[in-house]
A and B are shown apart, each in its own frame.
Chain A
Amino acid sequence: MGTIKSRRAGLRLYELESAFASNLEPTSPRLRSYRISRLLGQAARLCQLIRGQDVIEDSDRLVAIAAAQLKIDPMHFDSVLEVLKEADLVEERRGKLYEKVRQIDFGENYERVGEIWQQRKKDAREELTVCALDELVEFPRLASELGSFSGVAEPVRKQILEVTNNARLIESLSVGVGEPMLFAPMLWDLDPKRVSSVLGQLGTGSGLKQIMGRIQGAQSGTELSLLSLSLQEQALATKAVTIGLLPTFPVNSVGGEKSFTFTPYSGALITDQTERELLGKARAVVSCVRYGQKYAGASRISYPVALLRALLDPSRNYSLASHSEAKQQYGQLVLRGVGRIVQNGSRYVFQLIPSEENKRAVRLAIELLNRNEIVEERNLTISDASPLSAPGAIGNEFDGISMAHKRKRAGDDELEDLVEILRRG
Chain B
Amino acid sequence: MTNSKTSSRSSDGDNQTSQVNPSPTLFAGEQATPAPEPQTAPTVMPASAPQPGDPSAGVSLKEKASLSEKDYLLKLETAQALCNAGYFVRVNVALSEPPLSANGGQKLTDITDVDVLAMTFATDFHPDMVCVSCKAGSSKSLSPIKETLMMAGVMRYLRAERGYAIFADRKIDAHMYGLAQQLDIALFSLEEWRLWKSRQVGDRPVPAHFTADLYVTLRELLSRRNDLNALFSYTRGEYWYYRDFRNVQNLVGVTRHYAKALSGTPLGRFAFLDTLCLFSLSILQLCEFITFTGASRLGETLPPYLFGGPSVYKSRRDLLRRVEEMLRAREVLEKDQQLPPLDPAYLTDLAEVVARYVQKPVDAVRVPHHINYLTGLAACEATGINVGKRNSGESSTTEKFAFDLASLLAKAARVDKDILSLF
Interchain CB contact under 8 A, A96 and B396: yes
Interchain CA distance A410-B335 in the complex, whole Å? 12
Is the Cβ of A382 less than 8 Å from the Cβ of B397?
no
Alpha-carbon distance between A389 and B317 when the two chains are bound, in angstroms: 10
User: Is B56 engaged at the interface, CB distance under 8 Å to the other chain?
Assistant: no
* A57 vs B396: C-alpha distance when bound (angstroms): 8
Docked complex: B336-352 residues within 8 A CB-CB of A: 337, 339-342, 344, 348, 351-352
In the complex formed, the residue of A with least CB distance to B350 is A104
Instruction: Determine how close the nearest CB of chain A comes to the CB of B305; give it in whole angstroms.
Output: 13
Q: Which residues of A contact B294 (CB under 8 A)?
A: 303, 306
The reply to whether the CB of A402 lies closer than 8 angstroms to some CB of chain B is yes
A-B contact pairs, 28 of them (CB 8 A): A54-B360, A54-B396, A54-B400, A93-B400, A98-B404, A104-B299, A104-B348, A104-B351, A104-B355, A303-B294, A305-B296, A309-B295, A380-B311, A382-B314, A383-B311, A385-B311, A385-B315, A388-B315, A389-B318, A395-B326, A415-B333, A415-B339, A418-B323, A419-B320, A419-B339, A422-B319, A423-B342, A424-B250
User: Cβ of B340 and Cβ of A410 under 8 Å apart?
Assistant: no
Asked whether any CB of chain A lies closer than 8 Å to the CB of B146, the reply is no
C-alpha spacing A422/B300, complex, angstroms: 20
Contact in complex: B327, A402 (CB < 8 Å): yes
CA of A420 to CA of B360, assembled, Å:
32
Residues of A near B332 (CB, < 8 A) are 398, 401-402, 405-406, 410
Q: Are A418's CB and B339's CB within 8 A?
A: yes
**Bound-complex Cα distance A412 to B396 (A):** 40
Interface string of A245-270 (1 = CB under 8 A from B): 00000000000000000000000000
Q: B314 near A410 (CB under 8 angstroms)?
A: no
List, in ascending order, chain B residues with CB within 8 A of A382's CB: 311, 314-315, 318
A389 and B322 form a contact (CB under 8 A): yes
Given contacts A55-B396, A410-B333, A420-B253, 20 further A-B contacts (CB under 8 A): A57-B396, A104-B298, A306-B294, A306-B297, A375-B299, A378-B310, A382-B314, A382-B318, A394-B319, A398-B327, A398-B332, A406-B331, A418-B323, A419-B340, A422-B320, A422-B342, A423-B316, A424-B253, A425-B246, A425-B307
Residues of B contacting A412 in the complex (Cβ-Cβ under 8 angstroms): 340
Please indicate the chain B residues that have their CB under 8 angstroms from the CB of A406 in the complex: 331-332
Does B403 interact with chain A (Cβ within 8 Å)?
yes
Q: How far is the CA of A52 from the CA of B356 in the complex (A)?
A: 8
Chain B residue numbers with a CB within 8 Å of A401 are 327, 332
B96 within 8 Å of A (CB atoms): no
A-B contact count (CB 8 A): 130
Q: Does B140 contact A (CB under 8 A)?
A: no
Q: B315 to A415, Cβ gap below 8 A? A: no
Interface residues in A365-401 by Cβ distance below 8 A to B read: 375, 378, 380-385, 388-389, 394-395, 398-399, 401
Binary CB contact string for chain A from 90 to 112 against chain B (1 if under 8 A, 0 otherwise): 01010010101011110000000
User: B359 at interface (Cβ–Cβ under 8 A)?
Assistant: yes
Bound-state CA distance A91–B339 (Å) is 34
CB of A416 closer than 8 Å to a CB of B: yes
Given A306-B296, A385-B318, A388-B319, A98-B400 contact (CB < 8 Å): yes
6 closest residue pairs by CB, A with B: A385-B315, A402-B330, A55-B396, A306-B296, A380-B314, A309-B296
Residues in B whose Cβ lies below 8 Å from that of A389: 315, 318-319, 322
Nearest chain A CB to B39 CB, angstrom units:
26
Closest-CB distance, B94 to chain A (whole angstroms)? 21
Question: Which residue of chain A lies nearest to B390 when distances are taken between CB atoms in the complex?
Answer: A94
In the assembly, what is the distance between CA of A385 and CA of B423, in Å? 43
- Rounded to whole Å, the gap between the CB of A63 and the closest CB of chain B is 19
Which residues B257-291 have CB closer than 8 A to chain A?
Answer: none
A155 to B287, CA, bound (A): 58
Query: Which of these, A104, A381, A416, contacts B340 with CB under 8 Å?
Result: A416
Query: Complex formed: what's the CA distance from A48 to B307 in Å?
Result: 33
CB neighbours (8 Å) of A96 from chain B are 396, 400
Inside 8 A of A102's CB, which chain B residues have their CB? 352
Contacting residues, chain A, for B396 (C-beta < 8 A) = 54-55, 57, 96
**Nearest chain B CB to A112's CB is how many angstroms away?**
13
CA distance A150 to B9 in the complex (A): 89
Chain B CB within 8 A of A120 CB? no
Complex Cα–Cα for A381 and B304 (A): 13
> What's the minimum C-beta distance from A385 to chain B, rounded to whole angstroms?
3
Which residues of chain A come closer than 8 Å to B311, judged between CB atoms? 380-385
